C-alpha cells in the first residue's frame, strides 16, 4: 500500500534489470520514502517547509509506515502540505529524468503552497451557502381570463375573535368581490 509509484526498487522488485540507486543522489536505493523525502537532494525543500527528515529510521520502514509516523507528528494542515510536496517532488524527479532539467527547490515549495491555498479557497467557495432567493413582494394582477384571490386572517386572543378578509381581483387589478368577517371563537389558548 502507498508503494505503487515506479521507483527503481519497485521496478527491480517487478523484475526489471536496472540499478536500484537513486537517480538524483546516486547514494542510496531509490525507495518511495527516499525519493519523496529522505534523499539528500531534498534538504532545502525540507528546510523551506519547516519539516524535519523525520529521522534515519525512516530508511528502514515502508512508505506506508512513513506516512503514518509523519501524520502523528504534524497538524492536519501541515500534513496536507506534505502530501502536496510529495506529489510535486515525484513530478520533479520524473521531469528531471526525462528532460534533465531540475526544477529549483524554491519553485517546488512555492508551487505546493500555492496549490494548497487555491484548493482551500475553492473548497470554501463550494461550502458557501447558496445565495438567498429574493422573493418579490410586489402584488401582481392575474393573467387575462383568470382571477386572483387574496386572503388574510387575524386573531385577537383578548376578545377571542378572529377576522377573515377575502378579495377577488381580475386581470386588470380591479376588485370583483370582497369579504370581511369577524367571528367569535372558542378554543383552548
Ligand atoms: Zn537520493
Distance CA 142, CA 106 (A): 67
Average the pLDDT over 25-47 and give the result.
92
Specify which residues 155 forms β-bridges with: 162
58 Cα–ligand 1 center, Å? 14
What is the average pLDDT across 47-56?
A: 82
Ligand 1 centre and the CA of 92: distance in Å?
13
User: pLDDT exceeding 70 applies to what percent of the chain?
Assistant: 92
More confident site: 139 or 25: 25
Q: What is the pLDDT of residue 189?
A: 54
- Residue 21 Cα to ligand 1 midpoint, Å, equals 8
pLDDT tens sequence across 92-137: 999 998 999 999 999 999 999 999 999 988 888 877 777 777 766 7
**What is the torsional sign of CA 19, 20, 23, 25?**
negative
- Please answer whether residues 164 and 142 qualify as being in contact, where contact means their C-beta atoms are separated by less than 8 angstroms: no
CA of 52 to the centre of ligand 1 (A): 16
Residue 57 pairs in a beta bridge with: none
Give me the chain's average pLDDT, please. 85
pLDDT at residue 136, rounded to an integer: 66
Least confident residue range of 26-30, 31-35, 57-61, 180-184: 180-184
Dist. CA 71 → ligand 1 center (Å): 23
Judge contact between 62 and 94, C-beta under 8 A. Answer: no
Distance from Cα 154 to the centre of ligand 1, integer Å: 81
What distance in angstroms lies between residue 44's CA and the mean position of ligand 1's atoms? 13
Cα 31 to middle of ligand 1, angstroms:
9
* Residue 141 near residue 172, CB atoms below 8 Å: yes
Find the 97 Cα to ligand 1 centroid distance in Å. 13
pLDDT computed for residue 8 by the predictor: 95
For the residues 36-62, what does the mean pLDDT come to? 86
| CA 29 to ligand 1 center in whole angstroms | 7
Rounded Cα distance, 74 and 26, in Å: 30
Whole-number Å distance, alpha carbon 141 to ligand 1 midpoint, is 78
Neighbours of ion ligand 1 (CB under 5 A): 22, 24-25, 39
What distance in Å separates the CA atoms of residue 40 and residue 47, rounded to the nearest whole number? 12
* Residue 70 CB-half CA count within 13 A: 26
Amino acid at each position: 500500500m502507498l508503494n505503487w509509484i515506479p521507483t527503481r526498487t519497485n521496478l527491480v522488485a517487478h523484475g526489471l534489470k536496472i540499478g536500484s540507486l537513486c537517480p538524483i543522489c546516486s547514494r542510496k536505493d531509490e525507495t518511495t520514502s527516499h525519493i519523496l523525502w529522505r534523499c539528500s537532494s531534498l534538504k532545502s525543500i525540507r528546510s523551506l517547509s519547516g519539516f524535519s527528515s523525520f529521522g534515519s529510521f525512516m530508511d528502514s520502514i515502508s512508505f506506508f509506515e512513513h506516512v503514518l509516523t509523519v501524520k502523528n507528528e504534524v497538524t492536519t494542515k501541515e500534513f496536507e502540505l506534505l502530501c502536496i510536496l510529495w506529489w510535486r517532488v515525484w513530478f520533479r524527479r520524473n521531469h528531471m529524468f526525462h528532460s534533465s532539467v531540475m526544477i529549483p527547490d524554491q519553485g517546488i515549495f512555492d508551487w505546493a503552497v500555492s496549490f494548497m491555498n487555491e484548493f482551500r479557497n475553492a473548497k470554501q467557495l463550494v461550502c458557501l451557502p447558496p445565495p438567498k432567493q429574493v422573493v418579490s413582494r410586489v402584488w401582481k394582477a392575474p393573467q387575462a381570463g383568470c382571477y386572483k384571490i387574496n386572503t388574510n386572517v387575524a386573531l385577537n386572543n383578548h376578545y377571542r375573535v378572529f377576522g377573515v378578509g377575502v378579495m377577488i381581483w381580475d386581470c386588470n387589478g380591479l376588485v370583483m368581490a370582497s369579504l370581511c368577517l369577524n367571528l367569535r371563537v372558542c378554543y383552548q389558548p
